[in-house]
Structure 1
């Protein structure tokens, strides 16, 4: 920095870190390079913790896991070109699952008139835009500050989705004035809904004989109100995978996170009112083209784009934070005596039937998930991968609180669980965090195990090894395709973990597995717990 530079001037890259710290960011995940090194000038000076990933994909998943654990933005720093490309998969995952992720990257100063530069892309900003809410280039310090504040504000006021800001290298290096003073966080007052709207919803619930409520991830804030509504109005409930824990698993009118069961359409056809809260009812929620009901529908969601499609007489669509509306609806039901036709006995029988179906579809998995659930400490947060053990668990494992099981549901990427759990463990210092991943998915991001060792995270990683891409093999057989390319050579995973400096265990019984999990939570550093289907044999 020049001798005569005013004290308040620093290179823009350093100013950005100071600005983020002032806005509440305490952790950044990433990998430095020549192109983005100016972003690293201010990290330590600002008092921000930096977690060095082994690959930008790992950095992105860690930022995702951190954001899901805290509700705060997960922030990542990456370089021009390949760094940005490597993190695009996590960006897409965070976008599809409504996770607040902010990715800041460097970019080349000029790409139209100059070719052949290091890390050059034809349209880096445009590439990032395909997997984010928006992707913008800040060509001045003022623009960088404005875009950062825009991103952080939108995370709290709109549906949370990935944002990308790229800054030309010359701008990162140039001296810039201090960012504007920290702004107060946006104050979200209660959405102004007319009493007429609340009354219509409450009256519809009061008059319905077989109302059903479907609760998605958007219902996890202020979740206690939904349990009260279900009781006061006699509403049968389903949760999406993202909504698990919003309703207690032992509620007598709870059907579980079983919307994807083909037979759930039989239940939905019986409904005379369906209330959908905080869910887009995506393909990955239903695994069929339509919900399967014929009754009037009330939908409440912060995202108006999920309201598209055919409407029928009696439907209501309300764009709002769900709790703003449903708190008032709950109050309106205070003196109501439910007159429901739903039978707790029938619901329990249906859930038992569906559990039997899941056991038949995925033999031997449910005893493992039951044993895992029974041995976990209270408040354990779980990150799972695209693997059969997680697919089964998501349908039968009732959570006792919302926002404590995270899965790469929308984008559906392999390799998510290990780095995402690392991000969650960084955020949840002293609280139990666990990963569940399959053998093939572990290959994708196994290098990030070194980060968990480096940070001394007491992180159990349940590695389910069925020796193949089991879900793909089953799908091929179902489509009458001779299975091929579904088996890969696996290393000795325990020795691999030990080579990283991690702990390992290969339990032979469910009881031994439970002991290994309990010990892992008390051990310094991560523990890879290697489990195969033989554990139930």
Structure 2
């Protein structure tokens, strides 16, 4: 007899899953029955939040959904923060959890890990939450999840299986097909957009995270329109060193001036949210009047008015728009000059201390070209989100925008390293944020994930301390004492070194890269 738990593993394999992140418990034992004999690799974090962040990093680096197994109750609630981050940044994540036996649900009998309404709670965070009441429901639930990942704006999906259902016979379950592909761009809307683009003399493109897999199409459209491309933090890595690229935040005044000077703006895969466009909260970003929006999510398109709104995948819509462009355009040929001026002004707009932090990030990129840099909410990440040109599509991501979860970097970097084993992965975290996920060093060792952990140690939550001082609040609670990170790393068998400043970072990175295993570099910052 094949149980439902065993059938689950086979169904996940059929959907292309090769890795799951999770911590087994008494309420998920049956989900693990078929795992040892499968092709799926299981990675054990030290906390279920780490499982979620690992799944997130795996998905962002690879473009494939990340999968987490967690127990009923506290295991699932521990994962909610990671799911919130995934929802904010449109990351495909499948969380499969247990739940108490069917005949006990909602009765408040005090069973282990009991919640009043676990699925109702998850419906507030996940794009969908579904309970499997009978084995034959599982193939459809998985097909629905993977169809959403393939054809709509992705995010976290939750499936829960009662512990009595996990052990039920499930001999005849077969995977259902995934309904692949997002909606095709509407031809009439494409024609309208092409007419506007053909008549624009100073067009501009805003590229967000939804465009990060559409580099070739974006490059072709930008070059044809002679349009500068402003890259939000989640789009960095696209158009590296390109003459039309502006890898700078629309929260900067110089970038806003560039946008204001355009007579047509094409917003491609970006929600136009304040953590990208108004991170200082000054209200200075004004939505362009002549705006074309392209987004896979109809609900997202409805949130901001646009002259033309195209519901479609970024790559498909960009290609269709390029094909529909008129042969003769009215552009004034200033795109390259406008982009160069904006780049120079944006970098100059950063204060001196941010310039120094940016240089540290650029040292990582230049020392380890083509690497994936996974960030936490730390000062160099904030600086680089304002201005930084990464050299690999989907190779720069962090939790400092959107939901803004601390502790994201270390586990997400582990997930990325397992998803793309031929890439060098660097985790850049502050000493405060790193302590949120410090035990995940052990998970990196267990999984053989050769992440280079770089800790920017300024002995506290310096960004929050600065914010308090800026508004006249005496700083409280912003100086948690950091441990000796090298000793902790060495306790896990990880080589580590300490730098008194960023000056020796390049040489340390080369040593770390040569090690081909987890490595820690701590930088003391005044």
Normalising TM by the smaller chain, what interval?
Answer: over 0.9
Partner of 1:156 in structure 2? 150
Q: 1:465 aligns with which of 457, 463, 485?
A: 457
* Contact 1:364–1:533 (CA under 8 A) maintained in structure 2: no
CA–CA distance in structure 1, aligned partners of residues 180 and 314 of structure 2: 16
The 10-residue stretch of structure 1 (114-123 or 241-250) with the greater mean CA deviation from structure 2: 241-250
Partner of 1:525 in structure 2? 517
* Contact 2:347–2:387 (CA under 8 A) maintained in structure 1: yes
Q: Please, what TM-score do these two structures have when normalized by structure 2?
A: 0.94
Please state how far the C-alpha of 1:147 moved relative to its aligned partner: 0.9
Query: Quick check: 1:122 aligned with 2:116?
Result: yes
Q: 2:495 aligns with which of 485, 488, 503?
A: 503
* Contact 2:365–2:391 (CA under 8 A) maintained in structure 1: no
Alpha carbons of structure 1 residues 147 and 442: separation in structure 2 relative to 1, 3 Å: same
Q: 1:58 aligns with which of 17, 39, 50?
A: 50
The 10-residue stretch of structure 1 (269-278 or 288-297) with the greater mean CA deviation from structure 2: 288-297
* Contact 2:23–2:69 (CA under 8 A) maintained in structure 1: yes
The alignment partner of 1:483 has SS state of coil
Alpha carbons of structure 1 residues 77 and 403: separation in structure 2 relative to 1, 3 Å: same
* Contact 2:455–2:521 (CA under 8 A) maintained in structure 1: yes
Q: 2:403 aligns with which of 401, 411, 421?
A: 411
CA–CA distance in structure 1, aligned partners of residues 437 and 356 of structure 2: 27
Kindly report which structure 2 residues correspond to 1:244-393, keeping only aligned pairs within 5 A, or say none. 244-251=236-243, 253-287=244-278, 288=281, 289=283, 291-309=285-303, 311=305, 315-333=307-325, 335-336=327-328, 339-340=331-332, 342=334, 344-360=336-352, 362=354, 364-377=356-369, 379-393=370-384
Q: 2:471 aligns with which of 465, 479, 489?
A: 479
CA–CA distance in structure 1, aligned partners of residues 182 and 137 of structure 2: 28
Please state how far the C-alpha of 1:509 moved relative to its aligned partner: 5.2
* Contact 1:455–1:525 (CA under 8 A) maintained in structure 2: no
Query: Quick check: 1:140 aligned with 2:131?
Result: no
Partner of 2:36 in structure 1? 44
The 10-residue stretch of structure 1 (351-360 or 482-491) with the greater mean CA deviation from structure 2: 351-360
Q: Structure 1: any 5+ residue segments left out of the alignment?
A: 1-8
Q: 2:170 aligns with which of 161, 168, 176?
A: 176
* Contact 1:375–1:517 (CA under 8 A) maintained in structure 2: yes
CA–CA distance in structure 1, aligned partners of residues 13 and 171 of structure 2: 16
CA–CA distance in structure 2, aligned partners of residues 431 and 245 of structure 1: 14
Please state how far the C-alpha of 1:124 moved relative to its aligned partner: 1.0
Please state how far the C-alpha of 1:58 moved relative to its aligned partner: 0.8
Please state how far the C-alpha of 1:341 moved relative to its aligned partner: 5.9
Please state how far the C-alpha of 1:294 moved relative to its aligned partner: 4.3
Please state how far the C-alpha of 1:331 moved relative to its aligned partner: 2.5
Alpha carbons of structure 1 residues 520 and 397: separation in structure 2 relative to 1, 3 Å: same
* Contact 1:30–1:51 (CA under 8 A) maintained in structure 2: yes
CA–CA distance in structure 2, aligned partners of residues 230 and 363 of structure 1: 28
Please state how far the C-alpha of 1:310 moved relative to its aligned partner: 5.7
Q: Structure 2: any 5+ residue segments left out of the alignment?
A: none
Query: Quick check: 1:204 aligned with 2:196?
Result: yes
Q: 1:193 aligns with which of 186, 189, 206?
A: 186
CA–CA distance in structure 2, aligned partners of residues 337 and 310 of structure 1: 28
Cα deviation 1:475-521 (Å, max 9, x = unaligned): 11122211111101111111111111111011345453111111212
CA RMSD of aligned residues (A): 2.0
Alpha carbons of structure 1 residues 533 and 157: separation in structure 2 relative to 1, 3 Å: same
* Contact 2:96–2:159 (CA under 8 A) maintained in structure 1: yes
Please state how far the C-alpha of 1:375 moved relative to its aligned partner: 0.4
* Contact 2:365–2:390 (CA under 8 A) maintained in structure 1: no
Partner of 2:413 in structure 1? 421
* Contact 1:32–1:79 (CA under 8 A) maintained in structure 2: yes
Please state how far the C-alpha of 1:354 moved relative to its aligned partner: 2.2
Please state how far the C-alpha of 1:456 moved relative to its aligned partner: 2.6
The alignment partner of 2:426 has SS state of strand
CA–CA distance in structure 1, aligned partners of residues 8 and 266 of structure 2: 43
